[in-house]
Structure 1
Amino acid sequence: MCPGQKSWRADHHSSVQSSLRSLYNRTMASGITVHESVEKLVQQMKVHRHGGTEDRLKLLMLRVSDDLQNVIVDEDLTLYVKDVADEENVFKKVMSMFPKTECRFGLYDCSYRTNETMKEDLIFFYWAPDEAKTKSKMVYTSTSQGLKTKIMGGVKYKVEAQDLVDLEVSEIAELLGKGSVLQLEGIPIAGQAKK
């Protein structure tokens, strides 16, 4: 072998280490792994693309797979910008996607106006409704912390919600602006006069 040349074995070992490191970084304390498609979609939401807003995600809904092995995309409850284009109240539509009796994780691309400007921020939701089964709550709770730190790093706002009151517009507006949010998804916030 020539000096500076790596052997096949060294390249293979490095590749295996990289794959294992990636898998380790996606595995939660619960032993549940985040599916790589989830990571890709979260990264897409973190990095806004210019143009083509119709195919941009508005709400990425995640669930634990039935075999309790992976955090996966819940296709039925995920919304794209085009899905809410004709909605009169986008916020209400997004919040209605959280199931009343099942736990979920959600990443919501929220548009709002403050005293100064229009803003868009991502909000991570850990939804564990009172009506959900105890075992499900335990699985989601043990998975949520790792998901927040390993995948949702850089997401400024995080909400742990147990009932519909936690998903009300006033609660989310307070989280985003401590009294400075005038509109959420184009809907005026009650009690907030334009300053």
Structure 2
Amino acid sequence: MSSGVAVASECFQEFQQLKMSKSLKYILFKLNDSRTEIVVDKTSGNSDYEEFLDNLPADGCKWAVYDFQYKLEDGSQRNKLCFFSWSPDNAPIRAKMVHASSKDALRKPLDGIGVEIQGTDLTEVAYETVLDRVKRFSR
């Protein structure tokens, strides 16, 4: 199912910057006010995971790409690009429907995503939960 929502070119430009230059830690995306286009909501280059989570609204939908850093059991440092689809239970039904039907327009062109995370509450996007998922896909 597709919503017919377009994706602003800045979304792909910011994603390439995050992916290639590592100057960004995460990108938050949202629908514009008229719900016709996905746009960049916020970027951050120097933040921890808790700050990222603080930017996920309790009553609104967002998408995000986060450059997730973690260590393997041997101590080696790894990174995995994670795509988040945040649709909390408190969000309006219409917003959740448009969000779900618009996800692929943004997600499919983003080459290099390692893990997709669907979140409806903070337990589903908690650091340890995401770390478990990322490690499962690293094998």
Q: Same fold (TM over 0.5)?
A: yes
Gaps of 5+ in 2: none
Which of the two has higher C-alpha Rg?
Answer: 1
* Structure 1 match to 2:2: 29
Contact 2:58 2:90 in 1 (8 A): yes
Distance in 1 of aligned mates of 2:79 and 2:21: 10
1:147-170 Cα offsets, whole Å, 9 max, x none, are: 221x22321111010001101122
**Structure with more strand by fraction:** 2
Residue number among 78, 100, 104 corresponding to 1:141 in the alignment = 100
Instruction: Give 1:163's aligned amino acid.
Output: D
Within a 5 Å distance, the mapping from 1:44-63 to structure 2 comes to 44-48=17-21, 56-63=23-30
Distance in 1 of aligned mates of 2:106 and 2:12: 10
Within a 5 Å distance, the mapping from 1:114-129 to structure 2 comes to 114-116=72-74, 117-129=76-88
Q: Percent identity?
A: 25
Distance in 2 of aligned mates of 1:30 and 1:46: 27
Residue number among 71, 75, 80 corresponding to 2:45 in the alignment = 80
Residue number among 31, 49, 72 corresponding to 1:64 in the alignment = 31
Q: SS where residue 101 of structure 1 aligns?
A: coil
Contact 1:124 1:152 in 2 (8 A): no
1:39-59 Cα offsets, whole Å, 9 max, x none, are: 11111122135xxxxxx1111
Instruction: Give 1:138's aligned amino acid.
Output: M
* Structure 2 match to 1:101: 59
Gaps of 5+ in 1: 1-27, 50-55, 85-89, 181-195
Count of paired positions: 136
Distance in 2 of aligned mates of 1:153 and 1:59: 15
Segment of structure 1 superposing worse, 111-120 or 28-37 = 28-37
Q: SS where residue 72 of structure 1 aligns?
A: strand
- Per the normalisation by structure 1, the TM-score is 0.65
Contact 1:102 1:128 in 2 (8 A): yes
1:129-180 Cα offsets, whole Å, 9 max, x none, are: 000000000001001123221x2232111101000110112211111113x9
Instruction: Give 1:58's aligned amino acid.
Output: K
- Per the normalisation by structure 2, the TM-score is 0.90
Q: Which has the higher contact order (CA 8 A, sep 6+)?
A: 2
**Structure with more helix by fraction:** 1
CA RMSD after TM alignment: 1.7
